[in-house]
A and B are shown apart, each in its own frame.
Chain A
């Protein structure tokens, strides 16, 4: 069963506009959430994270929002830049689970000029 779901396999956005990537989860034991960015032929690169005790975390152009009651999180990128074009993975870990990550299937973001 897919405990972390990214239902949009792809997203296309114009440069300068906002990109919103969504993620849903089913496991109530998840208490920490991360977003990773992946370019072809490279490993995932950590982008931003959020603890379950918060509902928002911001780092420069990137903001992650967490809605625990809906088991939903989203990543906002504003303004979007062509270099942001990559696959974005949502991941989650459980308290006491050794921090092993459960990943979603990814969303391919394309930022067009």
Chain B
């Protein structure tokens, strides 16, 4: 299976703890995106990378959130000092820089975070 993978699929943590999620994009895709989805809403953009460069961050991404893509392949999203409001599905997507699928994003299955 060469789709986007995310790990873990589920994470339960206590308020105040730090959590880290991983995303492995489709191997030839240069762009990688993070979104957050809460109940009853569509996915909301958080940040995106082109290769290893983080090109844009949403105002939703507070200073407790940090994302990296150190070698332009997999990416991590870390949330420090989690709050109950961080409970959501965190989705990763990737897309190529050119070609027929240029405008399409391919999503992973998501990481469901529950903060108690």
Contact = CB atoms under 8 A, between A and B. Distances in A.
A56 B48 CA distance: 29
Contacts of B56: 98, 100
A102 B31 contact: no
Interface size, B (range) = 20 to 34
A34 B103 contact: yes
Contacts of A44: 43, 91, 107
Contacts, number: 58
Interface of B: 4, 31, 33, 35, 40-45, 48, 50, 55-56, 91, 93, 95, 102-110
Chain A contact residues: helix, strand, loop or mixed: strand
A99 B105 contact: yes
Given A49-B103, A98-B31, A43 B110 contact: yes
Interface stretch (A14-22, A65-73, A75-83, A103-111): A103-111
Given A42-B109, A43-B110, A100-B56, 9 more contacts: A42-B110, A44-B43, A98-B31, A98-B50, A98-B55, A100-B33, A101-B43, A103-B42, A106-B41
A100 B42 CA distance: 13
